[in-house]
Amino acid sequence: KVLILDFGSQYTQLIARRIRELNVYSEIVPFNKVPELDESYRAVILSGSPFSVKEERALRPDLDALIGKVPVLGICYGAQYIADYYGGTVSRSLKREYGKANLGRVRRSDGLFESIETGSQVWMSHGDTIQHLPEGFELLASTADVEVAAFGSDNGRFEAPVYCIQFHPEVYHTLDGGQLLRNFVMNIAGCTGDWTPAHFIEQTVEDLRERVGEERVLLGLSGGVDSSVAAMLLHRAIGDRLFCFFIDNGLLRKGEFEEVERSYEGMGLNVTAIDAKQEFYSALAGESDPELKRKAIGRVFIEVFEREAKKLANIKYLAQGTIYPDVIESVSVHGPSVTIKSHHNVGGLPEKMGLKIVEPLRNLFKDEVRRVGTELGMPAHLIGRHPFPGPGLAIRILGDITPAKVHLLQEADAIYINKMREYGLYDQVWQAGTILLPVQSVGVMGDERTYEQAVALRAVTSTDGMTAEWSHLPYDFLAAVSSAIINNVKGINRVVYDISTKPPATIEWE
Ligand code: XMP
């Protein structure tokens, strides 16, 4: 596997994904939490950073613990830090070098640049420049503006090669970036590329069997991809000793509970469907504060879950569909502080009930979860489903929740999503949904004046939900959705389209 040291670059996760696309496992750790390098680590990559090595507060881990042990690749800040650490000179450049450039003077016989032609386009984004190389390092490539675009030491100063590049191979605009990473990871570091979905499944099933033994496991299905794939893996490992709950909170999309329940049965899962609609509606009645709505839903979820779990004897483990982006510790620009976001949909339940946690997907990115799901033979419509928030339609109905409002939104949303599939747009957007606005406006239908509610349509493209861009959906599609909703859903006479990006807006309205 490949270890990636994170210095806080916005691209660190992208490096990990690029490596994994080569079917090589990679993991990200904060720059100051380097694990013991046992033989499972074949290479180390140092990420870029918002910091400058010239700053007082620059991040300066001990490189002697890494360099010489396994092949190392420093990217941007990583490269500057290596240069600085071993006695080279780094200075602030007068202007920030940002954007496309072309590589020149590639040392022909070099392993890192194998199959990459002189002139290849790369992406630069840095404020520091390396002026003099440290001893034992050699220049490998330059661009018109940057003399030291790539350098390395593969001739004996260290026991293992060290490569440093000023540009970002992980971003799309570095056209041969994939080839460069392949050269480093496969040819130089000797990784084999056997980390495939099939291999992951085999390994995980084996681990789960060993870990869980003869015990019983409980898992809460949400209808989403992550919990479903986690359930399938556990089912493969321990069969009917996996017990699944699927709670109907009355806040799902139209017909979704029944539809997903049928899919689960088709997949052979042992699922208890729990109708808790009324409990959720009662807890939400009259509440319009977004945070209090979320809290009420979380509380009822735990109550229902706990009550039902008590009916099952001898449960020892609680399984969750937590994925990698939820557990990566990120390095923040505001002091090297550490934030961890964990998906605890079941709150403090594990502690309260004395359950141990199993998270079979905690090392996977979302797209990898989908690939694993496909390999497990899960139905395509479950795997390709858009993300859907735990609190469901409650955070898409602004203001207080009533069953009538839920019904109104479900009808409008079903039209939107079905049309999206009909137009072949569903798989092109990352997430889409309809929001019921607490606004009434005047309209005219036939000869009648109407005074009814408005809905907003939301569709975004994103890779992880952290940032998002509004989708540029075709006007004729939006027109068709708008008239279908207004003509068919009594109570709605106006449709608007949300054109806000995240940040500064968020994907959901509450
Ligand atoms: P925001 O609105 O924060 O949403 O831009 C980012 C992504 O997270 C989803 N989301 C949630 N998912 N429980 C969840 O499981 C929640 O409370 C929750 N709130 C937002 C949202 O749908 C989007 O995909």
Kindly write down the DSSP assignment for every residue of 28-48, as one continuous string: EEETT-PPP--TT--EEEE--
pLDDT at 337 over 60: no
Would you call 282 helix, strand, or coil by DSSP?
helix
Task: Check whether 474 has a pLDDT greater than 70.
Answer: yes
Asked if pLDDT for residue 95 goes beyond 90, the answer is no
Would you say the CB of residue 431 lies under 6 angstroms from ligand 1? yes
**Ligand 1 pocket member 387 (CB < 6 A):** yes
Ligand 1 centre to CA of 502 (Å) is: 12
Give dist(CA 408, CA 400) in Å, integer: 14
Residues 6+ apart with CB under 8 A from 70: 37, 41, 42, 43, 44, 160, 189
Share of the chain above pLDDT 90, in %: 80
* Distance from C-alpha of 71 to C-alpha of 430, rounded to nearest angstrom: 37
Ligand 1 center to 351 CA (angstroms): 25
Task: Report which ligand 1 atom has the smallest distance to the Cα of 343.
Answer: 15
Peptide bond into 503 cis (omega under 30): yes
Q: Is 225 known as a binding-site position?
A: yes
* 126 pLDDT tier (thresholds 50, 70, 90): confident
- Determine which residue's CA is closest to atom 9 belonging to ligand 1: 389
Marked catalytic residue, from 76, 164, 191, 244:
76
Q: Tell whether the model's pLDDT for residue 388 goes beyond 60.
A: yes
Q: C-alpha angle with apex 5: 187 to 75, nearest 5 degrees?
A: 60
- The letter for the amino acid at 116 is I
Residue 257 has pLDDT above 60, yes or no: yes
pLDDT at 38 over 70: yes
Q: What is the pLDDT of residue 326?
A: 80
Ligand 1 neighbour 389 (Cβ under 6 A): yes
**Sign of the CA dihedral 503, 504, 509, 510?**
positive
Tokens standing for residue 53: 């090595």
CA angle 408, 411, 414 (to 5 degrees): 145
Q: Going by DSSP bridges, is the β-strand pair 338-339/330-331 parallel, antiparallel, or unpaired?
A: antiparallel
Contacts with 39 (C-beta within 8 Å, 6 or more apart), sequence order: none
pLDDT value of residue 345: 56
> Which of 259-273, 294-308, 345-359, 399-413 is predicted least confidently?
345-359
**Looking up tokens 């496309």, which residue turns up?**
100
> What tokens appear for 281 in the block?
């509606």
DSSP 186-243: IIIT-------HHHHHHHHHHHHHHHHTT-EEEEEE-SSHHHHHHHHHHHHHHGGGEE
- Reported as a pLDDT band with limits 50, 70 and 90, residue 107 is confident
375 is catalytic: no
Computed from CA positions of residues 11, 15, 16, 20, in that sequence, does the dihedral angle turn out positive or negative? positive
Q: Which residue bears the tokens 């990871």? A: 185
| C-alpha–C-alpha distance, residues 481 and 412, integer Å | 9
Asked if the model's pLDDT at residue 276 lies above 70, the reply is yes
Q: Model confidence over 477-487: pLDDT tens digits?
A: 999 999 999 99
Cα→Cα distances 378→228, 229, 265, Å: 9, 8, 12
Q: Which two tokens stand for residue 412?
A: 């409008």
pLDDT for residue 175 is more than 70: yes
Q: SS3 helix, strand, coil % of the chain, rounded to 5?
A: 35, 25, 40
Binding site membership of 391 for ligand 1 (Cβ less than 6 Å)? yes
Cα distance between residue 246 and residue 221, in whole Å: 5
CA angle 311, 312, 316 (to 5 degrees): 135
> Domains of the chain (ranges plus CATH)?
2-188 (3.40.50.880), 197-383 (3.40.50.620), 402-497 (3.30.300.10)
Please state the pTM of the whole predicted model.
0.85
Task: Answer yes or no: is 377 a known binding residue.
Answer: no
- Partnered with residue 443 across adjacent β-strands are 450
pLDDT in tens, 48-94: 998 899 888 889 999 999 999 999 999 999 999 999 999 999 998 87
Marked catalytic residue, from 97, 126, 164, 170 = 170
Phi and psi for 182 in degrees, rounded to 5? -60, -45
Supply the DSSP string of 300-317, one letter for each residue: HHHHHHHHHHHTSS-EEE
Rg (CA), the chain: 26
The answer to which of 4-18, 270-284, 404-418 has the lowest mean pLDDT is 4-18
Query: In this structure, which residue's CA is closest to atom 7 in ligand 1?
Result: 465
Phi, psi of 349 (to 5 degrees): -55, -45
Residue where the block lists tokens 């779990």: 309
**DSSP class of 508:** S
Q: What is the 3-state secondary structure (H, E, C) of 326-365?
A: HHCCEECCCCCCEECCCCCCCCCHHHHHCCEEECCCCCCC
* pLDDT band per the 50, 70, 90 thresholds, residue 343: very low
39 is an active site residue: no
pLDDT recorded at residue 341: 31
Name residue, tokens 């054109």: 499
List C-alpha distances in Å: 90 to 55, 104, 133: 11, 21, 9
Query: So what's the pLDDT on residue 28?
Result: 93
How many C-beta atoms lie closer than 10 Å to residue 291's C-beta? Answer: 9
Look at the block and give the residue holding tokens 């290596």: 82
Decide if 266 contacts 379 (C-beta within 8 A): yes
Q: Nearest CA to 274 among 300, 313, 295? A: 300
The verdict on whether residue 337 carries a ligand-binding annotation is no
Phi, psi of 141 (to 5 degrees): -160, 155
**What confidence tens digit (pLDDT) does each residue in 287-321 have?**
999 999 998 998 999 999 999 999 998 999 999 99
444, 452 Cβ separation under 8 angstroms: no
Judge whether 76 counts as a catalytic residue: yes
* Per-residue confidence (pLDDT) for residue 248, from 0 to 100: 97
Mean pLDDT taken over the chain? 92
